[in-house]
Amino acid sequence: MSSMSNVAGLSKWIRTLPNAKSSVLMIIILSFITGVLLFLLQPVNVGNGLEDFFYGGAFGFVVFGLPAIITGSTDQLWVESLNGINLKAKHSMFLALVSMSLAGIVSIIGTAVGLIFNMNLFFNSILFGC
């Protein structure tokens, strides 16, 4: 009986996952913001601040967002073709969102640490994050 009460106690933490479209939208937004933050921390002299903003956003989307969207959309098909678990599109897109967010956080932290210690860790942190 105690295991039933433990499971019932955990049910307040269980949430439904967002649908795949919401996850894709969040991937696009978070990857753009990640790229902007990376270019604000370690500016690549492309032009003025507005150009750095858009180039950083495009960089973040291409480096972080696009691979996450591709991975999230193909994972479900790969798992199904290998007769694996019943993985839905919203599950695979949410996992892609989480992994992309972690890679972005590692890249931002690595770039910030490089600025603190006056070393150029911009590309190293991006490679380590990905």
Alpha helices per DSSP H over the chain: 2-10, 20-41, 49-60, 66-81, 89-116, 122-129
Domain span at 98: 18-129
pLDDT digits (tens, 9 = 90+) for 61-116: 999 999 999 999 898 888 878 777 777 888 889 999 999 999 999 888 888 888 88
Evaluate whether residue 4 is within a structural domain: no
pTM given for the model: 0.81
Say if residue 130's pLDDT is above 60: no
Task: Write the DSSP assignment of 17-40 as a string of letters.
Answer: PPPHHHHHHHHHHHHHHHHHHHHH
Evaluate whether residue 8 is within a structural domain: no
Evaluate whether residue 9 is within a structural domain: no
Evaluate whether residue 54 is within a structural domain: yes
Evaluate whether residue 84 is within a structural domain: yes
Mean pLDDT, the chain, as a whole number? 84
The tokens for 130 are 């990905």
Evaluate whether residue 10 is within a structural domain: no
> CA–CA distance from 112 to each of 11, 13, 44, 106, 124 (Å)?
38, 33, 15, 10, 12
Instruction: Quickly tell me which residue has 């911009």 as its tokens.
Output: 122
For the chain, the domain total comes to 1
Evaluate whether residue 13 is within a structural domain: no
pLDDT bucket at 15, cuts 50 / 70 / 90: confident
How far apart CA 93 and CA 100 sit, in angstroms, is: 10
Evaluate whether residue 77 is within a structural domain: yes
Contact of 38 with 126, CB cutoff 8 Å: yes
